[in-house]
Chain A
Amino acid sequence: MTMAARGIRDQVAIVGMGCTRFGEHWDKGAEDLLIDAATEAFASAGVSKEDVDAYWLGTMGSGISGLTLSKPLCLDYKPVTRVENMCATGSEAFRNACYAVACGAVDMAMAIGVEKLKDSGLSGLVLPSAPADGTASELTAPALFSLLAPAYERKYGVDPAALKDVLTRIAWKNHHNGSLNPRAQFRREVDKATIACSPIVAGQLGIFDCAGVADGSAAAIIVRAADAHRYTDKPVFVKALSFVAGPASGTADPAYDYTTFPEVVRAGRNAYMEAGVENPRAELAMAEVHDCFTPTELVIYEDLGFAERGQGWKEALAGTFDLDGDLPVNPDGGLKAFGHPIGASGLRMLFEAWLQLRGEAPPERTIRSIAQGRKLALTHNLGGAPGECVSFVSIVGREPTA
């Protein structure tokens, strides 16, 4: 096992954030969403676009090059880097902006993500692709992730009906949390019977097991930790930034059993090392994880050490990850209810960590773990499919490590 990256714990901090409502923005283009998220972030930090030295823009398919941002914001000849890393795109913009500040190249950076998905007129997510030989499978994302459920059932002896209850409860929890969030795409509670009986999309997964396809944007302003209090009394310090792209061997290796994402395990392990976290279940106040489909969230509980292997389903049923549970997961509603504009999602997760750690979440959505003394929040993305994905994990906290 090689040593992971050293990391930049406590070297940089977030001092301002913005996040649009996610959903069907028929009256707004990607440029409008970028302006809205950036404006809110500038105001939050009390700075202007001129104060930001460099920009990182994450978008999967809503524009290419830095011009996608510099043009709508009328930036004054600033560097804008456009990045893409599938569903980790927004987090990747954040990671690179943090590194630029940490290394001293710039004093202030903005990471901003956007996606405008609803204009395609198509169902589900459509990925851009390079000319190819025509041998790749045409399987959709829900079908790829549906492979997790039967594998989990088989490995841990959970019968399909019991697992369906678990997946239903995960969707129900995230919809409940989203119902308390004015920025979420879906703001109504959904009862368990509706979720369980929703039309099947792939394998055992119904419509309500899938995250919403949405438009949206979110942004963060990053400065060196030493400068952070100039902009806010309550900066959020970056403890860990971990990103891995796997060898994609799971699709070709018979040893891979579809009950884990090795990429998530590795990204989590690196992040815990960077942040000095030994027991995530006990130390984290909350987590925002990539619940693109309900079985994904179940497997992530175990991959990130929130639950023992084979126990995640029991913990989910016991309410461990509920808003008032021991370790709240996706208190903002997650991809499921908040919606999933690809390039914005990673930054949207950080936005919830920002609100919760600063005590700014509305009372009905405030998690109890922070009042109980926990100080760290985790965000997580994965992009790709079981056996072949990229994964990101960040850990942020209200206080520098003593």
Chain B
Amino acid sequence: MKRGIVAYGAYLPYWRLARSSITAALATPAGRGTRAVASYDEDTTTMAVEAARIALAAAPEGVRPHEVVLATAAPAYLDKTNAVAVHDALGLARSAAAFDMNGSVRSGSAALRYAANATAPVLAVLSDIRTGLPGGADERDGGDAAAAFLFSSGSEVVAEPIAQASATSEFLDRWRLPGETTSHQWEERFGEHEYLPLAEEAIAATLEEAGVTAAEIDHFIVTGVHTRAVRAVQRSAAVPAGAPAKDLSAVVGNTGTAHQGLVLASVLDSAAPGALILTVSLADGAVATVLRVGEAILQYRQRRPAGGTVAAQVSAGRGELPYTTFLTWRDQLRREPPRRPEPAPPASPPAARHRAWKFSFAASRCGICGMRLVPPGRVCIGCGALGQMTQERLADVPGVVATFTADRLAFTPNPPMVVAVIDFDGGGRFRCELTDVGPDAVVIGTRVEMTFRKMSTSQTIHNYFWKARPVREEA
């Protein structure tokens, strides 16, 4: 039985930074185009949840992950497994496992390889937030994104890895000590010298294993942490002229650990059944994979939400972020705090007691009168019945703004805080914060959907919960 990708999704944050705004602020040439920027309330864990939700929304009937693996070079926590929050936010069963593959950009390849080679359904999620010091290449060329791939066996495989190979050799090209927020890179011509032969070896080995030639490749994806080496590999391979895939660097930037997944998702969005894809990832060596697109891709495109494609999210992004806001969000600009107390961190026992609510946004519905309670309660506010509740996950249920306000006193890194009273389709009302929106973009009646976010980080604790955002425009 074929094993491969049965569902996938990439997530691009809403915000864009125009590179020209760096030029304007620092008077250093920063080039053209934009980069994707994770909002102040996003981290690699929340973006992983969003990508996974897009993937799972169109997963084949009955296929749920038995494992979720999260790869990132910017983990929200160390020691603590970040994939567990992803697991709970997706509402996965307790019996499903969750593991991190943390720290290096190459962990993205590890997650994909692990998921491809397993037997049960495995969800591999790649997520990263990339930046550098102000005015530097990493700040300018980096990007933030996540991509998720559900691997399983069966007839609904949309892309089947048919060969994989790697070439590994120790050299120092890009590194970062624990605790540092930006990375270091050796002189770039040296990296190119190391990467090029490694890439050639991995490509040759994987093509041989797949039994195809470079000339037969329809889509050629090269990603990596070394821009010059990536370009050199793109040029050197003997693939057809139309094969190199758009790497999204002009609009999104290089999203590090997530990038091979992001570009693969973008290619899968339009690839024809039977097409051959060669991916090469350059990070401390080279990992190459050949995939064959399955017939099931056509049905998959019918099932998935239109707004979930990479192209739709590229066009839904807004290039309005001031450079100073970007610096503030990435902790590169210390700002005067408001005269309000710091948000209290969540306490662990109540958060655990309410984990279905906090992480999975599960409400309750009264079995007597049918009223939906958000947040869940034991006593029905409609009929007063006690203990007649069943749990209902509302994370994927859209709603409508009943009323809203803009709070200019409450603390938020993106003032004013916009809060709306949301009436959910099928019942239930909840007052919650809106995100990825300005106060002028909301009216009573605006359609919204829920999104998993980091409410605050206080006293070293990330407070994860759900906010609402306007339903993303469809392509």
Contact = CB atoms under 8 A, between A and B. Distances in A.
**Chain A interface SS verdict (over half):** loop
B358 A133 contact: yes
Contact of B344 (A132, A142, A253): A132
A273 B350 CA distance: 42
11 contacts: A121-B339, A123-B339, A126-B340, A134-B464, A138-B455, A139-B417, A140-B407, A142-B407, A146-B407, A154-B444, A252-B373
Given A138-B343, A201-B409, 8 more contacts: A132-B346, A137-B431, A139-B405, A139-B407, A140-B409, A200-B408, A202-B416, A258-B421
A129 B373 CA distance: 23
Interface string B336-358: 00111101111101110110011
Given A126-B341, A251-B429, A134 B407 contact: no
Contact of A133 (B357, B410, B456): B357
A254 B423 contact: yes
A126 B338 CA distance: 13
Interface of B: 338-341, 343-347, 349-351, 353-354, 357-358, 373-375, 377, 381-382, 402-411, 416-417, 419, 421, 423, 427-433, 444, 455-456, 463-465
Nearest to B464: A134
Q: Which 3 residue pairs of A and B lie closest in terms of their CB atoms, listed nearest first? A: A134-B346, A131-B347, A143-B407
Nearest to A200: B408
A65 interface: no
Nearest to A151: B403
Contacts of B411: 138
Contacts of B410: 138-140, 143
A61 to B, nearest CB: 12
Contacts of A311: none
A149 to B, nearest CB: 9
A142 B405 CA distance: 10
A122 B337 CA distance: 11
A2 interface: no
Nearest to B410: A140
Nearest to B462: A134
Contacts of B345: 134
Contacts of B346: 132-135
A9 to B, nearest CB: 31
Contacts of B377: 252
A122 B409 contact: no
A79 interface: no
Contact of A135 (B339, B375, B382, B406): B375
Contacts of B407: 139-140, 142-143, 146, 202-203
Contacts of A258: 403, 421
Contact of A201 (B357, B402, B408, B463): B408
A135 B358 CA distance: 6
Most chain B beta-carbon contacts within 10 A, residue among A133, A138, A258: A133
Contacts of B343: 138
A247 interface: yes
A387 B423 CA distance: 15
Contacts of A200: 408
A133 B350 contact: yes
A95 B82 CA distance: 52
Contact of B403 (A131, A137, A150, A202): A150
A131 B461 CA distance: 13
Contacts of A134: 344-347, 351, 358, 455, 463-465
Nearest to B384: A247
Contact of B381 (A131, A146, A150, A252): A252
B417 A143 contact: yes
A247 B381 contact: yes
Contacts of B456: 138
A249 interface: yes
Contacts of A126: 340-341
Contacts of A256: 429
B414 to A, nearest CB: 13
Contact of B405 (A123, A133, A138, A203): A203
A250 to B, nearest CB: 9
A142 B409 contact: yes
A202 B341 contact: no
Contacts of B382: 253
